Amino acid sequence: MDTASPSIVQPADEGAGWTQRVRQVIDKQLPMDHLLPTRQPYYVGSWVYVFGVVTIAALVWVVVSGVVLAFMGPQWWHDSAVGRFFNSLHFWSVQLFFIFMVLHLWGQYFMAGWRHGRAATWAIGVVIFGISILTAFTGYLSQQNFDSQFIAVNAKDAMNAAGIGAFFNVLNFGQMYGLHIMLLPIGVTILVVLHIVMVRARGVVKPIDPEGGARP
Partner 1 sequence: MKAMGATQDEYYRGMRMVPYDLVKELVLAVAGVGILAVVVAAILSSPDVRPVTIAAWAQNDPVDFVTTASGELAGTTISAGYGNPYNTNGPGQAWGPVAPQKWFGTRIPIDSANAFVIQPLAIAAQENSQLSSGLDVWQKASSDQQGKWLDSYTKALADAKVTNGAVVVADGDYGPLTEMMSSLLVIAQSGGLDGLLQISGRFYQTDYTPALLFMGDGGYLSGQAQSWNLLGNQWGMMNETGRYPGQTWLWLYTMWYQVWPFTSDTGFLGLNASNADLGIIILMTVLTAALAAVPLIPILRDVPRWVPIHRLIWREYYEPKRKAA
Contacts of 35 (CB under 8 A, 6+ apart): 197, 200
Comparison of 17 and 41: residue with beta carbon closer to partner 1: 41
Least Å from the CB of residue 58 to partner 1: 5
Comparison of 15 and 210: residue with beta carbon closer to partner 1: 210
DSSP secondary structure string for all residues of 95-127: HHHHHHHHHHHHHHHHTTTTTTT-HHHHHHHHH
**Which residue type sits at 85?**
F
Least Å from the CB of residue 8 to partner 1: 29
Least Å from the CB of residue 14 to partner 1: 19
Least Å from the CB of residue 19 to partner 1: 19
Cβ-in-10-Å burial (0-12, 13-18, 19+) of 56 comes to: middle
Comparison of 6 and 174: residue with beta carbon closer to partner 1: 174
Q: Are 94 and 87 in contact (CB under 8 A)?
A: no
Comparison of 12 and 28: residue with beta carbon closer to partner 1: 28
